[in-house]
Amino acid sequence: MKFNKSIPYKIKRILPILGLAGLSTISSCSKEDDLINLDLQEEITIKFSDDEFRTVLILDEKQRTVGPNEAIMYYVAQPEIKTIYIEPIGNWYGYRWNFIPNIRKTILEPLINYSPKIRGKGNFNFFPGDASRCPEDSLWITQQGWTINQQLQR
């Protein structure tokens, strides 16, 4: 009988201690969540290459631009993200001067016009001299934040 009387006594003492321990873990989790929320990115960079535009665009079955892809739309909808940089990577020599206007009109312009958050970043390394053959397009490209053949400039 004595054994039975001592168990309820211990349980009575353990329950408040467990309650305090539980409350302390809840408050520490909310502090960690606050720290995570304070560490949000304001800038995102999305890279695309000359042979893979799907990282920034949705293309139809004939490879025509439908609009920005889901990642771009998601980042534009996030209020904490202030700037979305679109950066070309790889070799762009294969796109000669007669394709530069198509790059502007079918890839770059739809992205830039989709949201004021979207800006250009990085370098297009077109075949030397080709960008000067279409000055209106190359000027537009540089006005949006990209550079052209910067590796050739010294």
List pLDDT tens digits, range 67-92: 888 889 999 999 999 999 999 998 88
Calculate the average pLDDT of the chain: 77
Share of the chain above pLDDT 90, in %: 37
Tokens in use for 43? 């800038």
Share of the chain above pLDDT 70, in %: 71
118: three-class secondary structure by DSSP: strand
Burial 122-151 (b: 16+ CB within 10 A, else e): bbbbbeeebbeebeebbebbeebbbbbbee
- pLDDT at residue number 38: 35
Cα(30)–Cα(36) distance, rounded to whole angstroms?
A: 10
Cα(3)–Cα(18) distance, rounded to whole angstroms?
A: 23
Check residues 92 and 23 and name the one with the higher pLDDT.
Answer: 92
- pLDDT at residue number 106: 86
Residue with tokens 């892809």: 69
146: three-class secondary structure by DSSP: coil
When pLDDT is averaged across residues 115-132 and rounded to a whole number, the result is: 92
- pLDDT at residue number 96: 84
- pLDDT at residue number 16: 53
Q: Is the pLDDT of residue 113 over 80?
A: yes
When pLDDT is averaged across residues 124-147 and rounded to a whole number, the result is: 92
Q: Is the pLDDT of residue 2 over 50?
A: no
For 122, half-sphere exposure in the C-beta direction (CA atoms, 13 angstrom radius) is 20
Closest by CA position to 103, among listed 9, 112, 118: 112
Q: Is the pLDDT of residue 144 over 90?
A: yes
Q: Is the pLDDT of residue 107 over 60?
A: yes
Q: Under a CB-based contact definition with an 8 Å cutoff, are residues 17 and 24 in contact?
A: no
Amino acid type, 59: L
Overall size of the chain counted in residues: 154
Q: Is the pLDDT of residue 45 over 60?
A: yes
